[in-house]
Structure 1
């Protein structure tokens, strides 16, 4: 990830927060079949290892499983809030006109060498934890054991789990930090006034 110094985020707790809030991550690997990517919900154990450990699963039929089993380095991409920034939001536009459109956003890249597993008990714990996380808050949360045991057993045989200790973690918060205080305020106020909820959310992250 291209990381100009002004946009680097090295706050581990904040990076973990972005990971926890990202409902769907992108897992990228490279191998004999070239680049491959899968879009997955993941769990983070922030206390496991210096940067935390990610857990997830793939269908056994997914050819990316072979790359994970080979132990090659994997990249996992998490995206946070983002917003288009119009040049019209910069007060400096009226002064000199030397402004162009850009995009503000939050992103985290996690790198590591995955370990795959097929142990049914471990897989059951993983899918149960993922389910509980995403069912939380529903009036009648669905539980894995709501389904017939033999059906769940069959579903578990069709997946492969993986643990990915995060060996390298990169964070980027591109929030107009390279602009003047007046331009930053203009972007913050402009996005806050937008009808788009994503714009409003990003405005609250602005310095």
Structure 2
């Protein structure tokens, strides 16, 4: 990911907030022939404080990702042992050139994204079972209990993965390369939008 200094985010709490707030991420790797594979999937983010680091932006924080794929997904066979990229997409919106106070300007896209890299590892047994349960608790906390036999049948249909995060990069493109008046104008337009995502992005734009 291209990371100009203006847009680089290194605060681990902000990065983790994006990852947990937007858990439906893209898991990307290549197959044995070098062809890219990508699957959008819910990802569980687990943090251990004070043990190691995950990239320049998360010193002192060990981050581990978990997810599972359908057993029939070709990526389930390709992932183990491969370098893997997981992309979390936060709020994003088109910025119209006409919103700026200064001129001339061109339209652009403001957005928040976090990319995690590491080597995917396949997990089985109790760990795989706990990943499935943790995803359910996190994403659908009010879901009714699942009968044990049904749970085992569902687990047989998926392959579960762990990814100890080796590096974590955040890009918060929030008009930081513009003047204060232009940023205020962009913020005001997004705040007035009917879209929740636009208003969430507006709240992140610095003064």
Output the TM-score relative to the length of structure 1. Answer: 0.90
Partner of 1:56: 67
Secondary structure of the 2:176 match is coil
User: C-alpha root-mean-square deviation of aligned residues, in Å?
Assistant: 1.3
- Give the Cα–Cα distance (whole angstroms) in 2 for the partners of residues 195 and 88 of structure 1: 19
Equivalent position to 1:66, from 77, 84, 90: 77
The counterpart of 2:120, out of the listed 114, 124, 134, is: 114
Aligned to 2:175, the other structure's residue is in SS state: coil
Q: Distance in 2 between matches of 1:192 and 1:72?
A: 42
Per the alignment, residue 42 of structure 1 pairs with 43
Using the TM superposition, give the Cα deviation of residue 148 of structure 1 relative to its aligned residue in structure 2, in angstroms. Answer: 2.9
Cα deviation for residue 49 of structure 1 reads 4.8
Do 1:77 and 1:107's aligned partners in 2 also have CA atoms closer than 8 Å?
A: yes
Native 8 Å contact 2:23 2:44 kept in 1: no
SS in 2 for 1:126: helix
1:49-108 per-residue CA deviation (whole Å, 9 max, x = no partner) reads: 522010111112111112212x11000000111111011111103xxxx21000100000
Gaps in structure 2 of 5+ consecutive residues: 55-62
Contact 2:93 2:111 in 1 (8 A): yes
Q: Would the aligned equivalents of 1:73 and 1:111 in 2 still touch at CA under 8 Å? A: yes
Larger helix proportion of the pair: 1
Q: Structure 1 CA distance, aligned partners of 2:98 and 2:118?
A: 41
Shift of 1:199: 1.4
Could you tell me whether the CA contact under 8 Å between 1:118 and 1:159 is conserved in 2? no
1:128 aligns to what? 133
Q: Gaps spanning 5+ residues in structure 1: where?
A: none
Q: Match of 1:46, SS? A: strand
Please give the TM-score of this superposition, normalised by the length of structure 2: 0.90
Aligned residues: 195
